[in-house]
Amino acid sequence: MVAVLPSSGAARTEATTTTREEGVINHQNGDHEYSSPTQELDAGALFVLKSKGSWVHCGYHLTTSIVAPPLLSLPFAFASLGWAAGVISLVVGAAVTFYSYNLISLVLEHHAKLGRRHLRFRDMADDILGRKWGRFYVGPIQFMVCYGAVVACTLLGGQCIKAMYLLSNPDGKIKLYEFVIMFGCLMLILAQMPSFHSLRHINLVSLALCLAYSVCATAGSIYIGNSSKGPTKDYSLSDDTQTRVFSLFNSLAIIATTYGNGIIPEIQATLAPPVTGKMFKGLCVCYSVVTVTFFSVAISGYWAFGNQADGLVLSNFLDNGEALVPKWFILMTNIFTILQLSAVAVVYLQPTNEVLERTFADARSGEFSARNVVPRLISRTVSVVIATTIAAMLPFFGDINGLIGAFGFMPLDFVLPVVFYNLTFKPPKKSAIFWINVTIAVVFGTLGVIAAVAAVRQISLDAKNYRLFANV
């Protein structure tokens, strides 16, 4: 269900007021009055997706959802691509995702002006593609991608805590799943933040943290690359054709999913109306950070370690247990990473929270009434416990998440935005924008299928190492 916010009306005062009467929301603002043949907001939209933020807050949310610790795997992606293909892929990924996210924002703005402000991805699919697409395809895929990101962040957080532990106690006996549980305890607290908008200050800190660990990763790589401790630089690619092809597509999928978001409508839903132009400003904030972090980490990491770059470049700072940079530097970098992972996880928990709130809360009761607080506390706690349990049980979840990313991030971030734009604005078939959008949909749809095959292959190769609660 969507909030109905028509754009007709005369100029009003600068203040924005929101009133609720029997579930009906009317917004008045300096440019338009959003009232309508009324449509009731459910509890998920009313409590989790509050429309109160500015474009600056939007920039914080976008940065946290995109500029996350998986960017530390970019040198590993370069190892299968080489210099030219790696840099080109990084540039194309940035350009296409910025373009796609801006298109989806324009579609959202268009429907808001028509009186149908979409607050969720599935709302867009319901309205543009039909209800079955929203209910049986877009909704489930988005939930799977976002909840998978929560599990992946929890696992990576546990691995970072374990790395810190082993650095100070190499013979320590504490298992990986115990560190995952420690990170899960932090998530239990953050998960209780009532709405997406309430994360704006956390996400400002997150923006600073992603800059901090990216600077550390870049500085550490340059230091090791210039020292005699570093590995011999080898930028050659695999001689085995099959391995090289699959590694190529796997690396392209890594780069594409590193730019992935999957929650653009939910982030735009946090904006106070009128929303026109605000998402573009937020994207400019986000991609300024993307440019600084992605390119510096990818290029410096690959330059320093070549085809020996690990899945996370921080792992290259240790050689057979020996630190190649000062231990305090590794500890500091891991602390920055762990703290930002918690912010990223709680952002990707919001679609789940919205579903839980819509299912268990009562929109006619107060947000902080006992009727709503108790179910919220219980349901969100159970959600985090399940995610933590999966992360602890499946320390190889990264392989599975690659498959989820291929099926999820590719359509949500590359294919659907251009399809939504073409169906909404109906550009002439002879126009450049029509064919640019069709090309993006076909190329990245095909890449998603190939990446899914590569992910399945990787899962089969690693299957012999799979063991529940393994201490990897």
Residue owning tokens 């008045």: 28
Indicate the pTM of the whole model. 0.89
Lowest mean pLDDT among 197-201, 267-271, 295-299, 447-451: 447-451
First to last CA, the chain: 44
**SS3 of 3, please?**
strand
At 154 the pLDDT is: 94
**Which CATH number applies to 42-398: 3.40.50.460, 3.40.225.10, 1.10.1270.20, 1.20.1730.10?**
1.20.1730.10
Q: Taking 60 as the threshold, does the pLDDT of residue 20 lie above it?
A: no
Would you list the domain boundaries of the chain?
42-398
Q: What mean pLDDT is reported for the chain?
A: 86
Determine what percent of the chain is predicted with pLDDT higher than 90.
63
Query: Residue 284 pLDDT more than 80?
Result: yes
Residue 454: band (very low, low, confident or very high) from pLDDT cuts 50, 70, 90:
confident
CB burial of residue 181 (10 Å; 0-12, 13-18, 19+): middle
The answer to whether 224 and 324 have CB atoms below 8 angstroms apart is: yes
Average pLDDT over residues 428-438: 95
Residue 10 has pLDDT above 50, yes or no: no
Element (H, E) at 20: strand 17-21
Q: What mean pLDDT comes out for the span 12-18?
A: 35
Separation in Å, CA 443 to CA 112, 435, 454: 30, 12, 16
Least confident of 53-67, 207-221, 277-291, 402-416: 402-416
The region of weakest confidence among 4-18, 245-259, 335-349, 355-369 is: 4-18
pLDDT of residue 32: 35
Residue 117 CB-half CA count within 13 A: 33
173-177, 368-372, 462-466, range with the lowest pLDDT: 462-466
Decide if 152 contacts 388 (C-beta within 8 A). no
At residue 291, the pLDDT reads 95
In 114-175, which ranges are continuous DSSP H helix? 121-128, 131-133, 139-168
pLDDT at 36 over 70: no
Contacts of 179 (CB under 8 A, 6+ apart): 158, 159, 161, 162, 165
121-135: pLDDT as tens digits? 999 999 999 888 888
Which residues does 115 contact at the CB level (< 8 Å), separation at least 6? 4, 5, 6, 7, 36
